[in-house]
């Protein structure tokens, strides 16, 4: 024990002697140049440069643990190499680790070298902090090569030729840096990204701003592994030569977390050639291409992320990629929300795919799963199953899409399964809810298919040429035409479903007195269920309407739900026109009407109703309705003389109708006519009662 105590005392004594012997060397007071100051330094010495511009380039000595600091920071202290060489060169002649520090300089005008115009490191791992590496003219602002693992933090790397930071076979830690406005030395090559990592590099990039670089924001190549966390990657690829925000290819492994990837020219994230990526808690938005594009065998996992408002597709996977999205929002992208081609596979869970310019989800293989999702309000339809796709779609809401809710139109046999889904209020030409063509055989069980519309045939379901659907225990109701089978060569068996009425579906021959949804001749619907299937999701209420609008109240009513295990109704409302989710709710019990009190007079409210069963399952929302401010004919939010003029123009000069029309029904007569003009003038100018019903 005494021996170990003796050794400990010796170590402490040596460390104390080292600290006591460390010197501070002032430049230019003691040494005329920074280089001479470094040459004179020994381990643990500190070289401090006074404010000013030092016209020199630094060749770091083979001495570890030297600290080179500026006295007044990078705004006041510049090292200018005058385009003669790298500004600071770490040659790797000895051990240079994180006890070596370079802090507080502006490093500029490096040039006349192929690599690392600002700072060049090989087998060197110093701390570089609080520096401005800018205006260097060759081979990147900072070049890390051959097992260089520096800590680069709180630096600005900008306006360098050849990119901001270039990493080869190294693992730098880059934190709290701004990397912006860097340009390529040769247009179109990788020397131009904000941060370029290649040849088995392993960088960590944390809390950085990477913006306005002429090439991509960050690139990973050739077996590199990377971490990007809590960064802001925006407005990169301004020259149009790269992929946009972040690019990974050639067997790279990438983790991107808590990062905003916005407004890049091209894709937000591009994953190519067998790369693997984990993307979590990210915002990928307003990029000019796809939000995420994956080609040639990538595998990636996206969770708790938003992919929105990108000009092209939200997520695009081509030529055999695998993707899993969990708890994601894919919204308002210019084209399809999620689009898979080739032999790509998808696992989609607990996600919302809404308001995209094309279809919501497109799948193309036989191992896709879509579970507990919302696919809603997409302009090109809900879910499209092409090629040989046979997905399992379960417990998913497909609602309010501007084409078919689900389409099966592959040219290779498909055998998908749809269970426990709500398919509601989708609309198209044929097959508003589901469109099924040759040679597909979906199994549809315990689903609610309601309020869908087709301009031509098959509001609920439309089948064509040799489509063999298996339909069992579904609620097919309020569609008008429940099923239309175009193929007279085979009878579509649709037994054991509920059609919206105890009398069953209307069939011209087999059930002409049925009052439920209709089917055509080539559908055989017998036997049918006389009550709604209770395993299927509860049917969204229908018939929601405003009975009366008072000063601070609204009276609503709706049709009674047909489900046998009804527990209660719930009303949702707020003044936000964006739809669900709603900020306010009211429980209505088992009543089919409710009065909402305490509302703001003159405010437009948006309202919907749902129902619950005794198992606690909630239906999807009813069709949304909105309150009407009667008298505000021109919709500008106020009632004034402009509304009188608007009504007169509509009634007598072929002007545009009030939108909604009820806004012009000022006297609540049920129509817009001269009496409404008189009523409005009386209210505005003669002290008459305000418009109200």
Q: Where are the domains of the chain?
A: 22-141, 545-626, 629-693
Distances (CA, A) of 57 to 66, 67, 87, 127: 17, 17, 5, 19
pLDDT tens readout for residues 454-492: 999 999 999 987 567 899 999 999 999 999 999 888 899
Cα 523 to Cα 69: distance, rounded to the nearest angstrom: 84
pLDDT tens readout for residues 528-587: 999 999 999 999 999 999 888 777 889 999 999 999 999 999 999 999 988 889 999 999
pLDDT tens readout for residues 286-337: 999 999 999 988 899 999 999 999 999 999 998 788 899 999 999 999 999 9
Greater model confidence, 647 or 503: 503
**pTM of the entire structure?**
0.89
Cα 408 to Cα 389: distance, rounded to the nearest angstrom: 9
Domain 22-141 and domain 545-626, same fold? Reply is: no
Task: List, in sequence order, every beta strand (DSSP E) within 391-490.
Answer: 392-394, 397-399, 406-408, 417-419, 422-424, 427-430, 434-436, 443-445, 448-450, 453-457, 461-463, 470-472, 475-477, 481-485
**Residue 193: which pLDDT band, with cuts at 50, 70 and 90?**
confident
Class of domain 629-693: mainly alpha
CB 131 within 8 A of CB 122: no
Which three-class secondary structure string do you get for 525-592?
CCCCCCCCCCCCCCCCCCCCEEEEECCCCEEEECCCCCCCCEEEEEEEEECCCCCCCCCEEEEEECCC
pLDDT tens readout for residues 240-292: 766 899 999 989 999 999 999 999 999 999 999 899 999 999 999 999 999 99
DSSP 186: S
Cα 37 to Cα 68: distance, rounded to the nearest angstrom: 9
Distances (CA, A) of 662 to 482, 570, 595, 634, 653: 32, 26, 20, 12, 19
Cα 29 to Cα 26: distance, rounded to the nearest angstrom: 5
Which value, to the nearest 10 degrees, does the dihedral of the CA atoms of residues 82, 86, 89, 92 take?
-160
Class of domain 545-626: mainly beta
What is the H or E stretch that residue 268 is in?
strand 267-272
Per the listing, tokens 């060049």 go with: 120
Which value, to the nearest 10 degrees, does the dihedral of the CA atoms of residues 216, 221, 227, 230 take?
0
Residue 54, C-beta contacts closer than 8 angstroms, at least 6 positions apart: 27, 33, 34, 77, 78, 79, 80
Q: How many CB atoms lie within 10 A of CB 312?
A: 20
Cα 92 to Cα 103: distance, rounded to the nearest angstrom: 19
Predicted pLDDT of residue 529: 97
Cα 464 to Cα 409: distance, rounded to the nearest angstrom: 10
- For the chain, what percentages of helix, strand and coil (3-state, to nearest 5) are there? 10, 35, 55
Residue 401, C-beta contacts closer than 8 angstroms, at least 6 positions apart: 359, 360, 375, 376, 377, 378, 379, 380, 381, 382, 426, 427
Q: How many CB atoms lie within 10 A of CB 624?
A: 17
Torsion angles phi and psi, residue 423, rounded to 5:
-120, 105
CB 295 within 8 A of CB 274: no
Torsion angles phi and psi, residue 691, rounded to 5:
-60, 125
Cα 161 to Cα 111: distance, rounded to the nearest angstrom: 9
CB 507 within 8 A of CB 523: yes
CB 270 within 8 A of CB 310: no
Predicted pLDDT of residue 378: 97
CATH fold of 22-141? Pectate Lyase C-like (2.160.20)
Chain Cα centroid distance, residue 82: 46
* Closest CA relative to residue 409, chosen from 371, 359, 375: 359
* Closest CA relative to residue 31, chosen from 22, 40, 23: 40
pLDDT at 115 exceeding the cut of 90: yes
* Closest CA relative to residue 622, chosen from 411, 432, 500, 451: 451
CB 677 within 8 A of CB 667: no
**Residue 3: which pLDDT band, with cuts at 50, 70 and 90?**
very low
């Amino acid at each position: 024990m005494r021996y170990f105590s003796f050794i400990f005392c010796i170590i402490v004594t040596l460390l104390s002697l080292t600290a006591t012997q460390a010197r501070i060397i002032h430049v230019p007071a003691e040494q005329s140049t920074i280089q001479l100051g470094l040459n004179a330094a020994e381990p643990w010495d500190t070289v401090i440069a006074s404010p000013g511009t030092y016209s020199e380039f630094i060749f770091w000595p083979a001495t570890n643990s030297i600290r080179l600091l500026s006295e007044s920071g990078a705004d006041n202290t510049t090292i200018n190499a005058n385009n003669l060489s790298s500004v600071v060169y770490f040659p790797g002649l000895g051990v240079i680790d994180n006890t070596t520090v370079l802090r507080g300089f502006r490093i500029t005008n490096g040039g006349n070298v192929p690599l690392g115009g600002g700072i060049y490191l090989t087998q060197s791992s110093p701390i570089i902090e609080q520096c401005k590496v800018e205006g260097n003219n060759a081979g990147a602002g900072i070049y890390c090569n051959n097992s260089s693992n520096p800590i680069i933090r709180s630096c600005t790397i900008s306006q360098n030729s050849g990119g901001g930071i270039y990493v080869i076979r190294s693992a730098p830690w880059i934190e709290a840096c701004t990397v912006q406005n860097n340009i390529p030395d040769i247009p179109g090559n990788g020397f131009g990204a904000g941060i370029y990592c290649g040849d088995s590099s392993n960088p960590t990039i944390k809390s950085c701003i990477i913006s306005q670089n002429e090439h991509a924001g960050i690139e990973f190549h050739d077996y590199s592994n990377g971490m990007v966390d809590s960064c802001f990657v925006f407005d990169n690829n301004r020259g149009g030569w790269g992929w946009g925000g972040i690019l990974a290819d050639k067997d790279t492994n990438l983790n991107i977390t808590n990062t905003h990837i916005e407004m890049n020219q091209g894709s937000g994230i591009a994953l190519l050639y067998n790369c693997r990526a984990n993307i979590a808690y990210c915002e990928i938005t307003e990029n000019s291409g796809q939000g995420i594009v994956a080609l040639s065998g990538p595998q990636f996992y996206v969770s708790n992320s938003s992919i929105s408002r990108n000009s092209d597709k939200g997520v695009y996977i081509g030529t055999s990629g695998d993707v899993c999205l969990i708890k994601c929002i894919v919204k308002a992208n210019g084209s399809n929300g999620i689009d898979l081609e080739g032999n790509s596979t998808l696992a989609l869970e607990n996600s919302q795919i809404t308001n995209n310019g094309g279809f919501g989800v497109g799948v193309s293989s036989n191992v896709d799963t879509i579970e507990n999702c919302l696919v809603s309000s997409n302009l090109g339809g809900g879910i499209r199953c092409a090629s040989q796709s046979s997905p399992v779609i379960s417990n998913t809401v497909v609602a309010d899409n501007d084409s078919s809710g689900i389409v099966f139109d592959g040219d290779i046999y498909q055998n998908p399964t749809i269970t426990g889904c709500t398919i509601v209020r989708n609309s198209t030409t044929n097959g508003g809810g589901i469109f099924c063509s040759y040679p597909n055989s979906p199994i549809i069980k315990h689903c609610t298919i309601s309020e869908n519309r087709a301009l031509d045939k098959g509001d609920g379901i439309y089948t064509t040429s040799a489509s063999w659907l298996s339909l069992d225990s579904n609620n097919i109701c309020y569609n008008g035409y429940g099923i239309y089978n175009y193929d007279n060569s085979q009878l579509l068996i649709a037994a054991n479903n509920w059609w919206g009425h105890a009398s069953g579906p209307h069939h011209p021959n087999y059930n002409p007195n049925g009052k439920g949804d209709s089917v055509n001749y080539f559908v055989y619907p017998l036997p049918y269920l006389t009550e709604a299937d209770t395993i299927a999701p509860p049917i969204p209420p229908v018939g929601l309407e405003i009975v009366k609008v008072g000063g601070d109240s609204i009276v609503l009513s709706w049709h009674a739900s047909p489900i046998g295990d009804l527990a209660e109704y719930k009303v949702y409302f707020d003044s936000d026109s964006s739809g669900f989710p709603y900020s306010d709710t009211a429980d209505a019990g088992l009543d089919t009407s409710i009065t909402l009190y305490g509302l703001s007079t003159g405010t437009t409210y948006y309202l919907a109703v749902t129902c619950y069963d005794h198992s606690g399952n909630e239906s999807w929302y009813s069709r949304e309705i909105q309150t009407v401010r009667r008298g505000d004919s021109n919709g500008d939010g106020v009632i004034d003389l402009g509304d009188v003029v608007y009504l007169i123009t509509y009634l007598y000069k072929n002007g545009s109708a009030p939108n909604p029309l009820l806004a012009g029904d000022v006297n609540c007569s049920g129509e817009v006519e001269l009496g409404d003009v008189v009523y409005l003038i009386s209210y505005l100018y003669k002290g008459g009662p305000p418009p109200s019903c």
